[in-house]
Structure 1
């Protein structure tokens, strides 16, 4: 961290999609360090669903929210102007997209390029971008049984053929982001988290949390398979680690725990015997395994799965989203 006259110099960083699940925890972490001023982009700074950001410690002094849309280059450029570095976290995560080309692909790909072009124009130092293991895992050519690492990319044609739009958007956005960085000289690193769970800061329930919430709702159907999870607080730590570590480059898989959904339901039943639980199940193929060794070599630490799961459910109960 740069110093001026022996004092730590405050840096200004932009966090796109600041009101979201992961981004909210990142903003909280940045503010807690005391040396970052944060520009957060949201669709509507006055919306009550962003009130949790203003309530964060240090927000009054070092958080400024910008009204911005990924598809509006001017609004993104205004938020990024004057920033030393950028965390690109914003991305649509829709469970049902009536028009996937418009609802998912455009914001994921065009939105990412708008952010990176604004970063180049503002001459920021580093961009840390959130991708996903979705951009890693759909690859029929990968050796069976081998843990997927950063060299594995999801097959674009396979994703399009199977109408896996979220994965397609994440994959193309990350590919084009690295292409832009190579052409422009932008310092870009990407983080590819698995399914992110953990306590909510925001009042709305994000898509990944519905996987755990579904286990606690009788009318939900649970897909019984091996799934990969990571704690939202560990993801925020990983993003800051990539930002603050000199010499990092390329992609970093961010995965902590692989657990069978049946095991998770058994855990929840033992902890919350008075709760309702899903009673509809369908057996599907397990997810592949992932290698987070590249990130762990930087000193990344993870929380126990049981802590993450319990904190998640206690958060849902506190927010009143459980019956």
Structure 2
């Protein structure tokens, strides 16, 4: 177990990606200091406490993204810090207060704490494809997006894509601060995340699919990646000494009609909406992630596991 004797921190540990990350880190022998917003909320901590190795090597802390110094004591003694905590909201009344400030200031708060702690040798940040593709550049089925692409905050603001703007500004702030303060930063940019849940309540990804399965929602075309692969990429991004820069995490581009076709085979009884056959809005290059050692789970497997996970959580009742 390569993590034996090593201490790492995971922020926002109760989340969809972070829960799998904590699980994988514990499996690899790490001692994990994990932060949540509310230690007294069983929906946030119960599933983490049940993970294998949690009793011996998982330590939970309460921390607030927008509270200065909130992460100082948590990162103390850690070799690696995985910053996954960030608000995920697509409908907001005050984007600055609800999304942008917590995302940007929260990222800076964590990095400031890391800059004061000599033991921290690398920070792995969970960004998003939202910080990659939202710009005015022409796109089409033959366009290949890679890590050199960056979203444009001005463009995001113009189209009122507040979540995408928040992720873009947070990643920009992270790169700037890290370069100015000598922090070894690695950034993960996952596409739309699918796969099974560990947490008991749905997140944005599962809620979108849940609505879609009930025939109510609209599912856009997406770059898809399995949550377990995202967790693996984070760990590899920390453990591999040569890891650097950004990593675009996507198994493939899918369309609504493709998702519909797979869901119809999985659950023929569902009243699914109908969509015309279309093409992906763009392709994405995952070569850097593969070079890091990430083996991507086929979307068909990921979607099947996600559907079963949703049903097991009795979210369709």
TM-score tier after normalising by the smaller chain length: over 0.9
What's the offset of the Cα at 1:267?
1.8
Does the CA contact (< 8 Å) of 1:41 and 1:68 recur in 2? yes
| Partner of residue 201 from structure 2, selected from 189, 204, 211 | 204
* Runs (4+) off by over 4 Å: 280-286
Which residue among 71, 76, 81 is the counterpart of 2:71?
76
Matched, 1:161 2:161: no
Q: How far apart, in 1, do the equivalents of 2:232 and 2:217 lie? A: 33
> Could you tell me how far 1:142 is from its partner in structure 2?
5.6
Partner residue, 1:141: 137
CA positional deviation for 1:303: 1.1
What are the equivalent positions in structure 2 for 1:55-66 lying under 5 Å apart? 55-66=50-61
Unaligned regions of 5+ residues in structure 1, if any? 3-7
**Map of 2:223 onto structure 1:** 228
| Residue in structure 1 matching 2:283, options 282, 289, 293 | 289
Whether 2:288 is the aligned partner of 1:300: answer no
Task: Check conservation: 2:22, 2:32, Cα contact below 8 A.
Answer: yes
The correspondence of residues 72-221 of structure 1 with structure 2, limited to 5 A, is 72-123=67-118, 124-141=120-137, 145-218=142-215, 220-221=216-217
- 1:257 offset after TM fit, Å? 1.9
User: Which range moved further: 300-309 or 265-274?
Assistant: 265-274
| Structure 1 residue matching 2:132: 3-state secondary structure | helix
Aligned-residue offset at 1:95: 2.6
> TM-score w.r.t. structure 1 length?
0.92
**Alpha-carbon distance between aligned partners in 2 of 1:9 and 1:198, rounded to the nearest angstrom:** 28
Q: How far did 1:70 drift?
A: 0.6
- How many residues align? The count is 314
Per-residue deviation, 1:226: 3.1
After TM superposition, give the deviation of residue 288 of structure 1 in Å: 2.3
- Within 5 A, what are the aligned runs for 1:312-323? 312-323=306-317
Once residues 286 and 171 of structure 2 are traced to their aligned partners in structure 1, the CA distance between those partners, rounded to angstroms, is 18
Relative to structure 2, which stretch is displaced further, 140-149 or 174-183?
140-149
Structure 1 residue 273: deviation in Å? 2.0
Distance 2:98 2:276 in 1: 28
Determine if contact 1:253/1:292 at 8 Å carries over to the other structure.
yes
Contact map agreement 1:222 1:280 (CA 8 A) in 2: no
Alpha-carbon separation, structure 1, partners of 2:166 and 2:12: 17
12, 26, 37: which is aligned to 1:43?
A: 37
RMSD: 2.0
Give ranges in structure 2 of 5+ residues lacking alignment.
none
